[in-house]
Structure 1
């Protein structure tokens, strides 16, 4: 499988969050002032666990897809295929996951929507059975 050239620098191995991912990912924080923006790169088959961005007011996340092919899924809904230029708006309180397709690298900018009393809650991994059903 061929890698792609990242639009933004890839950054180092995402070791701080590795326990919440299946496979390898890389993280480069592009902004830590005002609005948090991280460039996240996923190897083929890599995805994060189900998780929820909580906030008392505001909050959530926006994914700006920059390279490769990936997936985004909200709990109880079908998975949505993502390509460069796609945007996924994730409201606070919505359980979801995102990551690469099994045959493609994938990169997105993860934009943390400012809010009050924001926190991230990690849940179970996406099951291999459910993931393998995706094209």
Structure 2
């Protein structure tokens, strides 16, 4: 057993996120379990780049209201206590709404090369605005 009392909060890298995003690592993928988990906090309007995960990803919303969008235009609005599951290989993004903070615990199973995430281009302001519009109609 290992008791970890805290992890430092770090600013998420600008090459993978738009806006102010901060994270606390919970678990890094290592044998035998390969679980990767982090508490990620998004300020209003902040979001990830497009990305996918080799073995999928589970997002547990802990605070606020967020969006999860896919390449085919589907958008889910999720609030505290809700869970969004992104299947393996699905290109998606997630972040806060334009007016609220959002925090989630992001969980995934890594592979032999690390966490199995493939990072892609930023979500454009137009794509983000379209997603916001889709969930407020």
How many residue pairs get aligned? The number is: 122
Q: What is the aligned partner in structure 1 of residue 43 from structure 2?
A: 43
The reply to whether residue 108 of structure 1 matches residue 109 of structure 2 is: no
Cα 1:100/1:84, change in 2 over 3 Å: same
The 8 Å contact of residues 53 and 118 in structure 2, kept in 1 or not, is answered as yes
Q: What is the aligned partner in structure 2 of residue 132 from structure 1?
A: 129
Tell me the TM-score normalised to structure 1 length: 0.80
Q: How does 1:44-123 map to 2 (within 5 A)?
A: 44-54=44-54, 59-115=55-111, 119-123=116-120
For the pair shown, which has the larger CA radius of gyration, 1 or 2? 2
Please tell me the root mean square deviation across aligned C-alpha atoms, in Å: 2.0
Tell me the TM-score normalised to structure 2 length: 0.79
The reply to whether residue 20 of structure 1 matches residue 19 of structure 2 is: no
SS of the aligned residue for 1:80 comes to strand
Q: Distance in 2 between matches of 1:13 and 1:114?
A: 21
TM-superposed CA distance for 1:130, in Å, is 2.1
TM-superposed CA distance for 1:37, in Å, is 1.2
Q: Distance in 2 between matches of 1:12 and 1:22?
A: 18
